[in-house]
Amino acid sequence: MSANPTLRAANPRPSSRPSRYGVAIAIAVVVVIVLVASSILDYVYLDTIPSRAALYGLLAVALVALGTFIGVRAFDRDPADRRRHLIRAGVLLGLAVLLWLLLIDVFVFTNSAGPTVATISALACLPTTAFGLFVVRRLDRNEKEPWRLVLVAFAWGAIVATSMVIWGESLWGAIAERTLVPGPGLDASNAFSAGLLEELAKGIAVLLLFLVMRNEFDDVVDGIVYGAAVGLGFNFMESIAYMTNLYAIFSPEGAGGYAAGFQWYARQVLGLFFGHATYTALIGAGIGIARQLPGRREKVIAIASGFLVAIAAHFSWDAWLAFFPVEGSVLGLVEIHLRTLIMTGPFTAAVVALLLSGIQIEARALADQLRKEAAEGSGAILPPDVDVLSSPWRRLTERMRALGKGGLRAYLALARLQTAQLDLAMERWHRERNEIEDPLEAEHELRRRVIELRRQAAA
């Protein structure tokens, strides 16, 4: 038996504080209730085609919920079972994505743009979004997040978050349209709606990852990565919706392809990192900073701050876009780039500033922990390893050298060893900062794993 009742967490949870899993379950229950209620209310009261999609889309939402649940459970199981559960979760999430795309095709756009246009739009958005996800994941130079979690975050943004906001925004918009004076006041109202509802719906995903997947959520860098992934998912689905919708509107005038192509460029090229990815990355930054703060009050303030900045960033774009009109000439091409740079650029710069600071802090801390581990002489990290492991470039050089000597098998073995060594350094960092609930035994287990991987790599 490996369980030891005398093991103490570095930062034991007070008995009065609810378990973070309990908080996560409560949030998940609220999300499901909101989705069910919004879909039914939409169908009954608004009876629009998108609302029907929301109703039938509940199956996709249920698949995402089940897939996420199985995916999370997989981490509490033996490694032998883990793979099986992860595959099941992946299949369910994949089915949900496909089902949702199918629903969009059939119920929202088939009557207007047709399934061919919807499919072409989705295919056009796939490479750009995949590139975005690749770049975002690469941002974490020291400890990349697992693809499965990045893709779960993406799926949430694309499927769950978009489903959550349909009813809220439809209702808000319908009321505002019937009560407010058209013009800047109505624009501001709609911008408040989009900023509040969309950022809350997207941010919940990052919050749930923070609560449930604490081992894979280390700091501000991880928060930004997960947040941007959620934003890219939302942007993916929104791009398809706008492309097909505008194609349907302008195709009778012979300008459908141009309208859809313009939307693709604006959202999948120019706005790939500047729009939703930036907004949700700001939420992720707040949650990532909260991860490493000691007091509950500061944690709550940091999380709320991330949401507030994201809501303001999103609001400013939606509300004040009309103040930066774009001419229908060649000059318009310059103007549209300048508009994005001026309006969203400062927020993206804020994310980049937090990211670079976070990477620097993380790199220094890991180097410090690597040195300490090497000095302790456990054998997991040797003194010559420290400089190599502290530099992403030198880690890559070593892996390439292993590739040259022993082929792909040697490369992968060294990659696994380096990842495990950095995991160990990260675990030490969290323990030193008193921000970890895992028992000390978990750290010993990591150390044993590193030594085993070193043995395998040497063989």
Partner 1 sequence: MRAAPHDPVRTLYRTLLVFDVVAILILAVGLAEFLYFEPPGQTTGVKATIVGVFQYDPATHITSGPDRRTFARTEEFAAVVDWSTLPQNIAVDARWYDSFEAIVGKVGPGTPVQLTAQTIIPVGVPAGLQHNLPGQYVFVIERLENGVPVEVLARRIVVVERT
| Residues of the shown chain interacting with partner 1 in the complex, contacts defined by CB under 8 A | 111-112, 177-178, 180-189, 191-192, 219-220, 248-250, 252-253, 282, 285-286, 289, 292-293, 298, 301-302, 305-306, 308-309, 311-313, 315-316, 319, 350, 353-354, 357-358, 361, 364
Give CA separation, 380 vs 147, 397, 403, 419, in Å: 26, 20, 22, 12
Q: In the complex with partner 1, which residue's Cβ is closer, 270 or 301?
A: 301
Q: How far is the CB of 364 from partner 1 (least distance, A)?
A: 8
Q: Are 339 and 325 in contact (CB under 8 A)?
A: no
Q: In the complex with partner 1, which residue's Cβ is closer, 184 or 377?
A: 184
Q: In the complex with partner 1, which residue's Cβ is closer, 360 or 456?
A: 360
Q: In the complex with partner 1, which residue's Cβ is closer, 303 or 420?
A: 303
Q: How far is the CB of 366 from partner 1 (least distance, A)?
A: 13
Q: How far is the CB of 231 from partner 1 (least distance, A)?
A: 17
> What amino acid occupies position 71?
G
- The distance of Cα 347 from the centroid of its chain, to the nearest Å, equals 17
Q: In the complex with partner 1, which residue's Cβ is closer, 35 or 309?
A: 309
Q: Are 327 and 259 in contact (CB under 8 A)?
A: no
Q: How far is the CB of 435 from partner 1 (least distance, A)?
A: 9
Residues in the chain: 459
> Mapped to the 3 state alphabet, what secondary structure does the chain carry?
CCCCCCCCECCCCCCCCCCHHHHHHHHHHHHHHHHHHHHHHHHHHHCCHHHHHHHHCHHHHHHHHHHHHHHHHHHHCCHHHHHHHHHHHHHHHHHHHHHHHHHHHHHHHCCCCCHHHHHHHHHHHHHHHHHHHHHHHHCCCCCCCCHHHHHHHHHHHHHHHHHHHHHHHHHHHHHHHHHCCCCHHHHHHHHHHHHHHHHHHHHHHHHHHHHHCHHHCCCHHHHHHHHHHHHHHHHHHHHHHHHHHHHHHHHHHCCHHHHHHHHHHHHHHHCCCCCHHHHHHHHHHHHHHHHCCCCHHHHHHHHHHHHHHHHHHHHHHHHHHHHCCCCCCHHHHHHHHHHHHHHCHHHHHHHHHHHHHHHHHHHHHHHHHHHHHHHHCCCCCCHHHHHHHHCHHHHHHHHHHHHHHHHHHHHHHHHHHHHHHHHHHHHHHHHHCCCCCCEHHHHHHHHHHHHHHHHHHHC
Q: In the complex with partner 1, which residue's Cβ is closer, 2 or 329?
A: 329
Q: How far is the CB of 314 from partner 1 (least distance, A)?
A: 10
Q: In the complex with partner 1, which residue's Cβ is closer, 36 or 106?
A: 106
Q: How far is the CB of 204 from partner 1 (least distance, A)?
A: 19
Q: In the complex with partner 1, which residue's Cβ is closer, 402 or 426?
A: 426
Q: How far is the CB of 97 from partner 1 (least distance, A)?
A: 28
Q: In the complex with partner 1, which residue's Cβ is closer, 67 or 358?
A: 358
Q: How far is the CB of 43 from partner 1 (least distance, A)?
A: 19
Q: In the complex with partner 1, which residue's Cβ is closer, 95 or 361?
A: 361
Q: How far is the CB of 374 from partner 1 (least distance, A)?
A: 22
Q: How far is the CB of 94 from partner 1 (least distance, A)?
A: 33
